[in-house]
Structure 1
Amino acid sequence: MLAGLGRAMYERRFVVIAAWVAVALAGAVFGGSVYDRTQSVDTLPADAPATAAQDRLDALDPEGERVVAVISGRDVGATELITSVTRIAYEIRALPGVAEVDDSYTTGRRQISTDQQGSLVTVELKPGLSDDEALRVADQVSAALRRIDAPEILIGGGLLAEREFTDQAVRDAAVGESVALVCVALLLIVLLGGLVAGLLPLAAALAAVAGTLLTLTGLAGLLPVSEYAVNVVTLLGIGLAVDYSLLMIARFREERAADPRAPLAVLIDRTVVTAGRAVLISGSAVAAALVGLFAFGDPLLAAMAMGGALVVVLATAAGLTLVPVLIALAHRRIPAPRPPKRTSLLVRLAGFAQRRPRAVALTATAGLLALSAPLLFAEFANSDVRVLPTSSEARQTYEATQERFADPPKQPLTVVVEAPADRPDVKELFDRVEQLPGVSDVFVRSELPPGVSVADVVPSGAADGPEAQRLVAELRSLDAPAPLLVAGPAAELTDAKRSVADRLPVALAIIVVSTAALLFALTRSVVVPLKAIALNVLTLLATMGVLVAVFQWGWGAGLLGFESWGALDLTTPLLLFVFAFGLSMDYEVFLLARVIQEWDRRTATDAAASDRAVLAGIAAAGPVITTAALAIGIVFLGFVLGDLIAVKEIGVGMAVAVLLDVTVIRGLLLPATMSLLGRWNWWRPGLTATAPPAQVPVA
Structure 2
Amino acid sequence: MLIRVAQFTTRFPRAILLGALAVALLCGIFGATAAAGLKSGGFVSADAESVRAAQQLTDNFDGAAPNYILLVESPDGVDAEPVRARALQVIDIVRAHPDTDSVQSYWTAPSPAVASVLRSTDGESGLIAVNFAGDETQIQEAAGELGEQITGTADGVTVRAGGTAATFHEVNDQITHDLAVAETAAIPLTLVVLILVFGSLIAASLPLLVGLFAIAATLAILKLFTLFTDVSIYAMNLTTALGLALAIDYSLFIVSRFREELAAGRDPRAATVRALQTAGRTVLFSAITVALSLSAMLVFDLYFLRSFAYSGVAVVIAAAVASIVVLPAALVLLGHRVNALDLRAPILRLFGREPKPLGAMVPEQTGWYRLVKRVMRAAVPVSVVIVALMLALGSPFLSVKFGYPDERVLPASAASRQVGDEVRAEFPRADPGGNTTIVLDGYRDERGVGAYAARLSEVDNITGVLSSAGVYVSGNRLAATPPGMTNDTGTYLTVNSRVDPFSPAGAEQLDALRAIDPPAPALFGGSAAVNEDSLDALADRLPLAGLLIVLSTFVVLFLFTGSLILPFKALLLNTLSLTAAFGAMVWIFQDGHLQGLLGFTAVGYLVPTMPILMFCLAFGLSMDYEVFLLSRIREEWLRRRAEHGGTESAAEANTEAVAVGVARTGRIFTAAAVLMAIVIGALTTSKVSFIQLMGLGLTLTVLADATLIRALLVPALMKLMGPLNWWAPKPLARLHDRIGFSEEPVDAPGATAEPPVRV
Q: Within 2, Cα distance between the matches of 1:137 and 1:292?
A: 35
Q: 1:101 to 1:47 in 2, by over 3 A?
A: closer
Aligned to 2:389: 367
Q: 1:677 to 1:409 in 2, by over 3 A?
A: same
Aligned to 1:401: 423
The answer to whether 1:660 aligns with 2:676 is: no
Q: Within 2, Cα distance between the matches of 1:128 and 1:562?
A: 31
Deviates more, 1:478-487 or 1:609-618: 478-487
**Counterpart pick for 2:441 among 409, 418, 439:** 418
Aligned to 1:100: 103
TM-score, L = length of structure 1: 0.92
In 2, are the aligned partners of 1:420 and 1:452 still within 8 Å (CA)? yes
Aligned to 1:627: 671
**Counterpart pick for 1:268 among 272, 277, 284:** 272
**Counterpart pick for 1:547 among 582, 585, 592:** 585
**Counterpart pick for 1:441 among 435, 451, 464:** 464
| Structure 2: stretches of 5+ with no match in the other structure | 340-357, 469-483, 744-757
* AA matched with 1:82: A
* AA matched with 1:552: Q
Deviates more, 1:447-456 or 1:310-319: 447-456
Q: 1:433 to 1:23 in 2, by over 3 A?
A: same
Aligned to 1:285: 289
Shift of 1:114: 5.4
For the aligned residue pairs, the C-alpha RMSD in angstroms reads 2.8
Shift of 1:390: 2.1
Q: Within 2, Cα distance between the matches of 1:547 and 1:267?
A: 44
Deviates more, 1:522-531 or 1:212-221: 212-221
Deviates more, 1:168-177 or 1:49-58: 49-58
Q: Within 1, Cα distance between the matches of 2:728 and 2:278?
A: 24
Q: 1:27 to 1:539 in 2, by over 3 A?
A: same
Q: Superposition pairs for residues 171-210 of structure 1, below 5 Å?
A: 171-210=177-216
**Counterpart pick for 1:298 among 290, 295, 302:** 302
Identity of aligned residues (%): 32
Q: Within 2, Cα distance between the matches of 1:134 and 1:596?
A: 53
Q: 1:4 to 1:400 in 2, by over 3 A?
A: same
Q: 1:416 to 1:348 in 2, by over 3 A?
A: farther
Shift of 1:425: 4.9
Shift of 1:294: 0.7
Q: Within 2, Cα distance between the matches of 1:418 and 1:145?
A: 37
* AA matched with 1:369: L
Aligned to 1:429: 452
Aligned to 2:27: 27
In 2, are the aligned partners of 1:475 and 1:486 still within 8 Å (CA)? no
In 1, are the aligned partners of 2:410 and 2:687 still within 8 Å (CA)? yes
In 2, are the aligned partners of 1:193 and 1:337 still within 8 Å (CA)? no
Aligned to 2:376: 354
Shift of 1:612: 1.7
TM-score, L = length of structure 2: 0.85
The answer to whether 1:159 aligns with 2:165 is: yes
In 2, are the aligned partners of 1:388 and 1:644 still within 8 Å (CA)? yes
Aligned to 2:2: 2
* AA matched with 2:31: G
**Counterpart pick for 1:646 among 690, 693, 697:** 690
Shift of 1:127: 4.0
Q: 1:126 to 1:507 in 2, by over 3 A?
A: closer
Q: Within 1, Cα distance between the matches of 2:635 and 2:702?
A: 25
Aligned to 1:41: 41
* AA matched with 2:674: L
Q: Within 1, Cα distance between the matches of 2:278 and 2:144?
A: 59
Q: Superposition pairs for residues 211-250 of structure 1, below 5 Å?
A: 211-250=217-256
Q: Within 1, Cα distance between the matches of 2:269 and 2:136?
A: 57
Q: Within 2, Cα distance between the matches of 1:581 and 1:66?
A: 39
| Structure 1: stretches of 5+ with no match in the other structure | none
Aligned to 1:686: 730
Deviates more, 1:126-135 or 1:654-663: 126-135
SS of equivalent residue, structure 2 residue 271: helix
Deviates more, 1:562-571 or 1:378-387: 562-571
* AA matched with 1:323: L
Q: Within 1, Cα distance between the matches of 2:142 and 2:49?
A: 32
SS of equivalent residue, structure 1 residue 121: strand
Shift of 1:191: 1.6
Shift of 1:141: 6.6
Q: 1:330 to 1:278 in 2, by over 3 A?
A: same
**Counterpart pick for 1:580 among 618, 621, 638:** 618
Shift of 1:137: 7.0
Q: Within 1, Cα distance between the matches of 2:21 and 2:681?
A: 28
In 1, are the aligned partners of 2:562 and 2:726 still within 8 Å (CA)? yes
* AA matched with 2:198: L
Shift of 1:435: 2.1
In 2, are the aligned partners of 1:41 and 1:225 still within 8 Å (CA)? no
Q: Within 2, Cα distance between the matches of 1:288 and 1:532?
A: 15
SS of equivalent residue, structure 1 residue 568: coil
Shift of 1:284: 0.3
Deviates more, 1:452-461 or 1:271-280: 452-461
Q: Within 2, Cα distance between the matches of 1:576 and 1:598?
A: 33
Shift of 1:94: 2.8
* Residues 239-274 of structure 1 deviation map (CA, whole Å, 9 limit, x = unaligned): 00000001101111121122x2x3422221111111
Q: 1:551 to 1:105 in 2, by over 3 A?
A: same
Aligned to 1:468: 506
Deviates more, 1:156-165 or 1:194-203: 156-165
In 2, are the aligned partners of 1:65 and 1:125 still within 8 Å (CA)? yes
Query: How many residues end up aligned between the 2 structures?
Result: 690
**Counterpart pick for 1:669 among 713, 716, 725:** 713
**Counterpart pick for 2:337 among 333, 337, 341:** 333
